[in-house]
Amino acid sequence: MGIISPESSTNQQAGSVEKTVGQYLFDCLKLEGITEVFGVAGDYNFTLLDTLERYNGVRFISGRNELNSGYAADGYARVKGMSALITTFGVGELSACNAIAGANSEHVPLIHIVGAPPDKDQKEHKLMHHTLMNGNFDVFHQMYKLITAYTAVLTPENAEIEIPNAIRIAKEKKKPVYLVVADDLVTKPIIARREPVPPRPTSNLKTLQAATDRVRQLLERARRPVILVDVKTMRFGLVTAVRQLADAMNVPVATMMFGKGAFDETHPKYIGMYEGSFGSSEVQTMVENADCVIAVGMVWADNNTANFTSKLNPLLTVDIQPDMVKIAEAEYPNVFAADMLLAVQNIGYKGKGLAEKTKFPYDQITGSTEEPLTAAIYYPRFQQMLKEGDIVIAETGTLYNGMAEVKLPRNVTYIAQGGWESIGYATPSAYGASIAAPDRRVLLFTGDGSLQLTAQEISSMLYYGCKPIIFVLNNDGYTIEKYLNVKTEDQQYNKIPRWSYTKLAEAYGGDAFTATVRTYGELDQAIIQAEKERSGRLCIIEMIAADPMDAPENMRRMRNYLEMQEKQRSQN
């Protein structure tokens, strides 16, 4: 999608109606493919919402609070490429700031639009509601500078410059941006400002060649290279380029936790998830014994490297980032990933592929019909039910870890907050994804503790006719937190109230297919029924865990590692 130019947007010919700030703003969003804007109404954004109600092609999607609307916008952007959020000044924007910080951490482009008190009142420093009662109307704008890639205060004089600038930066950096506009300026005509759009940055060809020559030297000696795919591959549109590289090189491909879904897991060269010491020992051996690692879009974070137990030899690692490459201690700035991937492909390295077909942890369903629900039983059933084109949302915690090792079909959009990890993100994100792709099947995997933070958005799903299949893992509290705390046991703060999860839809005034299951047989029947029901209504399947402390194998290994660390600390 392009940026609206002054010539096409202002339409300044004699007799034509001038665009207002609000109309121009929604023109720009519409041009980016944004057809829904999330948010919550508040008196300082009424003029924005009134303009939007009269605008063709973009509609307002309300949430039950601003935080949830921010999460929903994040999920929408991961499906459609970009999203927008409207909140009111102060109370609304501060409620949303956790979601915006998460979008920043996770490289999600989101346009946050804030309706502010009237311009005249701001200039007179009146004490207005939703402020700190000190006459300062810039304080929240200044706060947002720290968690967004760009901020601007919109006026009729600068709207034609600032709105395209903000959108361009959101697209280039894959980060949220912030625009605040006084309520009484939204309906003012924009004043034409003709400013050239800066050219798209391109790779420095000499630096690109130097990086390519260094990779060629590594590959000339390599006998066991691997490709390692991570999250920025998805965010920066590199999925196809990486797949083409894998096809050309014919070498094993692994993904990291954050990068789940960035590579086709049905690809014959895919070997699974690289989780350091917490995951498959076969994958760990293949990656860490490689004599050249082509790492794409990698984020070297604690929970992406299994508490930094991942061990890559930097001298043998080609770290390809969106706008630079690092090999050993040498950095190659201003080299764009798409160009570098093509250059590596053109080196012409051809590997021997895999000696044998890869086996994945959940390929086989085990357990009898009457067997109580455990991770070893329900993750294989989840893998079996997934279909090409699904949207899968996994909540932070137990399900995030378990779903990481579920093998995905082709063209699945996988959504999880691997880095920011805000508990409660997944339910409103699934709501946003459902709005973004009403024709695709959406499956939400969330825990009882997480759902209690943001359950209100099931109401929004029902209101807007969204029909996801929601799996609620009821393991009686914050099991992930119990695993992470190895110092004490039976913590009261990790216990939660017991809800009737299957009655939520009824409480919200809606209709849903619901089931509570305790055995493999009951889960199997509930899934079969949900697949029939989902075309007509939302589905909620509550899964009662046989053992509240049951967890997937990678979480057990994490727990063992943390216990070992704690023991070593106590001995020192």
> pLDDT digit string (tens) for 162-216?
999 999 999 999 999 999 999 999 999 999 887 788 888 899 999 999 999 999 9
Confidence band for 5, pLDDT divided at 50, 70 and 90 = very low
Confidence band for 482, pLDDT divided at 50, 70 and 90 = confident
pLDDT(488) > 90: no
User: Rounded mean pLDDT of 320-341?
Assistant: 96
User: Rounded mean pLDDT of 530-557?
Assistant: 94
Strands 442-447 and 469-474: parallel
Residue 227's DSSP bridge partners are: 253, 294
pLDDT in the model for residue 17: 64
Count of C-beta atoms within a 10 Å radius of residue 563:
12
> pLDDT digit string (tens) for 16-48?
468 999 999 999 999 999 999 999 999 999 999
Cα angle value 492/497/500 (rounded, 5°)? 155
- 117 Cα distance to chain centroid: 32
Residue 202's DSSP bridge partners are: none
DSSP letters of 496-552?
A: -----GGGHHHHTT--EEEEEE-BHHHHHHHHHHHHHHTTTSEEEEEEE-SSTT---
Cα angle value 431/434/439 (rounded, 5°)? 170
The C-alpha atoms of residue 281 and residue 224 are separated, in whole angstroms, by: 17
pLDDT in the model for residue 9: 41
Laid out side by side, the sheet with 83-88 consists of 59-62, 36-39, 83-88, 110-116, 177-182, 151-154
- As a whole number of Å, the CA-based R_g of the chain is 25
Which residue's entry shows tokens 């809606």?
510
SS (H, E, C) 59-128: EEEECCCHHHHHHHHHHHHHHHCCEEEEEECCHHHHHHHHHHHHHHHCCCCEEEEEEECCHHHHHCCCCC
Contacts of 173 (CB under 8 A, 6+ apart): 107, 109, 149
Q: Is 32 exposed, middle or buried (0-12, 13-18, 19+ CB in 10 A)?
A: buried
pLDDT in the model for residue 75: 98
User: Rounded mean pLDDT of 465-478?
Assistant: 94
